[in-house]
């Protein structure tokens, strides 16, 4: 902030100097020319002419002497007159008044115009950035942008894409109740969209304590009626069946989902593990309650990720350093996101998963963005970051754990992010 005001003061001083110096100096030169030198030069020239005429016999020596005396008298009068003029110059006082007016008006106008047309608050943000963590400021600005989008949609209630974007943004920030409300508005504008219904059910379930009973289950049934093979809806339906203690129904949904993945893939292995747990519980007469027994409720599991075009995804693994592993609670939340190396700090893709699933395979793609037109696939290079939040808040908090990758290009696979730092 000090640098900004120093530069502004320097520019103002230079401007004043450029304006005042010609005004004062130019006025002085115009009012007080070197009249003495000019008069003497004229006298010298005329005397030389008289001397030449006398030498040629045109005039007599007496006539020449009389003419020279008259020239000397005139020269004395002309040389004495400017002295009085320079002692009383009416324009000189006006120049000083003009200079004083500029000296007052220009700085005042600059301050007033900056206050009205500029952004004085930006200096405070920069100053705060010097004293606090840069992530906090940037993420706070992201939250403010989301709130601005919500305000804009109040005057444009028919903007379906805007409501979807707002809902996804709220979900990425962990504001699930707000996300569910935004999805409800989008659902009214975009009927019979299975992906939208699955997202709506997911946000609503998170808002009501990670439970799918009631309205979320109804939304899942609607989604599967539209698209019986929708991956996200199938995963949610399987989890809802586990909540209802319907093990056979849960197995049926997981097997339908398993059939959509290549054998031996990470997704297939994850689903096979869940199926094995359910079958074991069924044989032993135990119950499986879904989220409490690690059945995935969150819809950003690899098995329910949306399909994305080749080159538009980043895949890898998030793990935690052994020194921090004992400090992570099962109820903590992990945020995995990609940011452009050169560009705004708004995440290009965001994934939210429970900490109990670490180490964890992940996939980021264009469908996980938070802003229209800002895509992961369009970035030249990105950094993948992972942060464990104790509060579940999308904004970094002191005591959170974090880690990041080296710069990579979209389309990269096998990326490893190790969480090994503590947020100060």
Can you give the residue ranges of every domain in the chain?
A: 2-84+92-117, 135-293, 308-422
Instruction: Please tell us whether the domain made up of 135-293 is placed in CATH 1.25.40.10.
Output: yes
Helical (H) or strand (E) element with 97: helix 90-117
H or E element in which residue 231 lies? helix 231-243
How far is Cα of residue 15 from the mean position of the Cα atoms in its chain?
A: 33
Residue 125: the pLDDT is 43
Dist. CA 149–CA 153, nearest whole Å = 6
* Token output for 90: 């009416």
Q: Which helix (H) or strand (E) holds 404?
A: strand 401-404
pLDDT value at residue 423:
86
Phi, psi (rounded to 5 degrees) for 383: -120, 130
Q: What pLDDT is recorded for position 372?
A: 56
Query: What is the pLDDT, as a whole number, of residue 252?
Result: 92
Measured in whole angstroms, the distance separating CA 313 from the mean position of its chain's CA atoms is: 23
Architecture of domain 308-422 in this structure:
Sandwich (2.60)
Question: Angle between the 194-207 and 160-172 helix axes, to the nearest 10 degrees?
Answer: 40
Q: Which long-range contacts (CB under 8 A, 24 or more apart) does 387-390 make?
A: 387/334, 387/335, 387/419, 387/423, 388/320, 388/328, 388/332, 388/333, 388/334, 388/355, 388/419, 389/332, 389/333, 389/334, 389/335, 390/329, 390/332
Q: List, run by run, the mean pLDDT of 10-residue segments along the chain (424 residues).
A: 68 73 58 56 72 76 77 66 48 67 74 62 46 48 77 87 85 84 92 90 88 91 92 90 87 90 80 84 62 38 43 85 87 88 77 86 81 74 90 79 91 91 88
Distances from the Cα of 305 to the Cαs of 41, 117, 189, 219, 375, in angstroms? 98, 46, 24, 18, 17
Residue 167: predicted pLDDT: 86
Q: pTM to 2 decimals?
A: 0.48
**Given this model, what pLDDT does residue 30 score?**
46
Dihedral (CA of 385, 391, 393, 396) sign: negative
The two tokens of residue 246 are 């319907």
d(CA 388, CA 399): 9
Residue 351's region, left for phi above 0, alpha for psi from -120 to 50, else beta, is beta
DSSP element (H, E) containing 324: helix 322-325
- Backbone angles phi and psi of 116, in degrees to 5: -90, -40
Residue 206: predicted pLDDT: 87
- The whole-angstrom separation of Cα 300 and Cα 196 is 14
């Amino acid at each position: 902030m000090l640098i900004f005001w120093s530069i502004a003061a320097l520019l103002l001083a230079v401007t004043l100097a450029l304006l005042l110096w010609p005004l004062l100096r130019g006025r002085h030169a115009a009012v007080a020319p070197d009249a003495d030198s000019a008069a003497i030069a004229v006298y010298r020239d005329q005397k030389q002419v008289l001397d030449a005429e006398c030498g040629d016999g045109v005039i007599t020596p007496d006539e020449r002497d009389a003419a020279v005396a008259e020239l000397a008298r005139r020269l004395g009068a002309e040389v004495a007159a400017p002295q009085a003029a320079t002692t009383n110059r009416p324009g000189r006082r006006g120049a000083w008044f003009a200079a004083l007016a500029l000296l007052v008006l220009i700085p005042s106008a600059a301050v007033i115009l900056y206050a009205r047309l500029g952004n004085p608050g930006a200096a405070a943000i920069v100053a705060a950035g010097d004293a606090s963590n840069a992530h906090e400021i940037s993420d706070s600005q992201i939250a403010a942008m989301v709130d601005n989008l919500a305000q804009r949609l109040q005057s444009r209630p028919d903007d379906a894409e805007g409501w979807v974007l707002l809902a996804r943004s709220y979900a990425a920030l962990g504001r699930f109740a707000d996300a569910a409300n935004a999805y409800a508005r989008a659902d009214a504008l975009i009927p019979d969209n299975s992906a939208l219904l699955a997202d709506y059910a997911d946000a609503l379930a998170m808002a009501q304590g990670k439970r799918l009973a009631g309205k979320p289950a109804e939304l899942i049934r609607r989604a599967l009626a539209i698209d019986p093979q929708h991956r996200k809806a199938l995963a949610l339906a399987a989890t809802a069946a586990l909540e209802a203690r319907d093990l056979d129904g849960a197995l049926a949904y997981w097997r339908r989902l398993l059939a959509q993945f290549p054998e031996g893939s990470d997704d297939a292995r994850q689903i096979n593990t869940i199926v094995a747990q359910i079958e074991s519980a069924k044989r032993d007469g135990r119950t499986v309650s879904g989220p409490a027994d690690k059945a995935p409720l969150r819809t950003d599991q690899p098995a329910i990720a949306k399909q994305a075009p080749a080159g538009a995804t980043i895949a890898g693994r998030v793990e935690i350093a052994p020194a921090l592993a004992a400090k992570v609670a099962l109820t903590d939340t992990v945020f995995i996101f990609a940011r452009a190396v050169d560009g705004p700090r708004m995440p290009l893709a965001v994934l939210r998963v429970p900490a109990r699933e670490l180490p964890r395979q992940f996939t980021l793609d264009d469908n996980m963005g938070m802003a229209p037109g800002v895509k992961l696939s369009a970035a030249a290079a990105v950094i993948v970051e992972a942060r464990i939040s104790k509060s579940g808040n999308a904004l970094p908090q002191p005591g959170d754990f974090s880690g990041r990758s080296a710069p990579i290009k979209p389309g990269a696979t096998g990326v490893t992010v190790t969480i090994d730092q503590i947020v100060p």
